């Protein structure tokens, strides 16, 4: 990912060229000045609609103000909007009003397929195998994550329990911090955070490392704070921006990594794994063979 952002924001450039804009282009400029943050979430079609202009006018507006492309315009506008918050990424959204269900279905599936294809080249097989081996032999594995990453951790907890392995997870962040402060060298701290910059998870990773636990992280493929504490860093593609509607492809990629780890762990100890899985299924499906 190219994370360089032009030094100058967009608003100064637009203001400098305001007198040269046509009436339709000026409508776009006026909307951008009025709603700069909302503009970041729109594609060309929706910006045209919101500004009561046209798609052609939006394209001309970009060229007239010296932006190489619509994306370059949004990058520079993000410089203005998020200047004080010092965030690195703009929204990974191109929202539009009432798209057809078919269009939404195609878009989500297409993004997911492309993201999963990228995962295959991003994830290091040697690191995955090493992580699976360590978790299988650990005295206990402590899982950490909040929000969507917490959902991923919870899913992994369910899988490890099915294999009869000692595991801990709670969604309570105070308890996560407490647990991290009690780890020891026989424990695994498995820390999930897409951005790798969640403050609570940074502290969890720091505590775990200071307690001589083995730290395994699952973050996006960038240099980040949480990854710096890891003995084993599992990576997913940087497929989403920090500002986004909600974790989508990142969550799917993280869950895919958990499925991969689980499959490797099952295959390494197939007989005992089958026995454990059968035991847990017998308990949860007792009296209800259709339950799953």
d(CA 82, CA 60): 25
Predicted local confidence at residue 9, as pLDDT: 83
DSSP letter, residue 199: H
Strand 187-192 and strand 214-220: the pairing is parallel
Predicted local confidence at residue 238, as pLDDT: 81
**Residues above pLDDT 90, as percent of the chain:** 61
Mean pLDDT, rounded, of the chain: 86
Predicted local confidence at residue 280, as pLDDT: 77
d(CA 266, CA 168): 19
| Residue with the two structure tokens 């997870």 | 169
Predicted local confidence at residue 34, as pLDDT: 95
Higher pLDDT, 112 or 140: 140
Closest alpha carbon to 30 in 47, 51, 44, 59:
51
| Tens-place pLDDT, residues 193-209 | 998 999 999 999 999 99
Strand partners, 143: 190
Helix axes 199-210, 173-180, angle to 10 degrees: 20
Q: Is the pLDDT of residue 239 over 70?
A: no
Predicted local confidence at residue 5, as pLDDT: 42
Structural domains in the chain, CATH included, are 10-81 (1.10.10.10), 111-284 (3.40.50.10490)
d(CA 288, CA 292): 9
Higher pLDDT, 93 or 150: 150
Sheet holding 140-144, edge to edge: 167-168, 140-144, 187-192, 214-220, 232-236
Q: Is the pLDDT of residue 244 over 60?
A: no
Assigned token pair, 180 = 């991290």
Segment 215-234 mean pLDDT: 95
Q: Is the pLDDT of residue 107 over 70?
A: yes
| Tens-place pLDDT, residues 72-85 | 898 889 888 877 54
Assigned token pair, 235 = 């990576």
């Amino acid at each position: 990912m190219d994370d360089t952002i032009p030094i100058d924001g967009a608003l100064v450039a637009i203001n400098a060229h305001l007198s040269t804009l046509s009436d339709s282009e000026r409508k776009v400029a006026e909307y951008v000045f009025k709603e700069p943050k909302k503009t970041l979430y729109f594609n060309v079609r929706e910006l045209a609609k919101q500004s009561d202009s046209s798609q052609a006018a939006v394209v001309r507006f970009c060229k007239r103000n010296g932006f190489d492309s619509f994306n370059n315009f949004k990058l520079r506008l993000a410089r203005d909007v998020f200047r004080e918050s010092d965030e690195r990424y703009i929204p990974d959204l191109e929202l539009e009003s009432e798209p057809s269900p078919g269009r939404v279905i195609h878009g989500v599936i297409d993004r997911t397929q492309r993201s999963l294809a990228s995962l295959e080249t991003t994830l290091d097989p040697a690191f995955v195998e090493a992580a699976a081996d360590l978790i299988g032999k650990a005295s206990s594995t402590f899982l950490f994550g909040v929000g969507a990453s917490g959902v991923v951790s919870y899913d992994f907890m369910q899988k490890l329990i099915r294999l009869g392995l000692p595991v801990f997870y709670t969604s309570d962040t105070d308890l996560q911090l407490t647990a991290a402060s009690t780890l020891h060298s026989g424990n695994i701290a498995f820390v999930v955070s897409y951005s790798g910059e969640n403050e609570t998870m940074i502290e969890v990773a720091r505590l775990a490392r200071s307690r001589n636990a083995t730290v395994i992280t699952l973050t996006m493929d960038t240099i980040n704070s949480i990854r710096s504490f890891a003995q084993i860093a599992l990576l997913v593609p940087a497929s989403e921006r920090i500002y986004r509607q909600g974790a989508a492809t990142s969550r799917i990629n993280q869950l895919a990594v958990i499925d991969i780890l689980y499959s490797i762990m099952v295959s390494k100890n197939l007989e005992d794994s089958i026995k454990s899985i059968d035991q847990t299924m017998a308990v949860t499906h007792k009296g209800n063979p259709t339950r799953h």
